[in-house]
Amino acid sequence: MLSGMSDAGRLIRERRVAHGLTQAQLALRAGTTQTALSRLERGQLSPTVATLQRLLFVLGESLEVRAAPSEHSSSSWEPSRSPSRVATT
């Protein structure tokens, strides 16, 4: 299980090297840039789930996302009674 972006970057790098691919080759096949992939592998970039899915697909892996309580969660939290607006881009 990955616990952070540095773990994700480390996993991508390990799989990329195991497949004998350069950053440029993997980036091209996954539809991203070599610069972004480099930053991801070094833990300097937080990729989208879609980007991780594409990278892992090229590497023959899959991505599973699970929701779990955070260590900072509080059992006293209740949702607001009125809907809030969320900006979408």
| pLDDT tens per residue, range 23-52 | 999 999 999 999 999 999 999 998 888 999
Q: Which domain holds residue 33?
A: 5-58
With a cut of 60, say whether residue 71 has pLDDT above it: yes
Total domains, the chain: 1
Question: Is residue 82, in this structure, part of any structural domain at all?
Answer: no
pLDDT of residue 46: 87
Task: Indicate which CATH number applies to the domain containing 46.
Answer: 1.10.260.40
Tokens at residue 55, please?
A: 């990278």
The answer to whether position 81 is within a domain reads no
**Positive or negative CA dihedral for 67, 36, 38, 30?**
positive
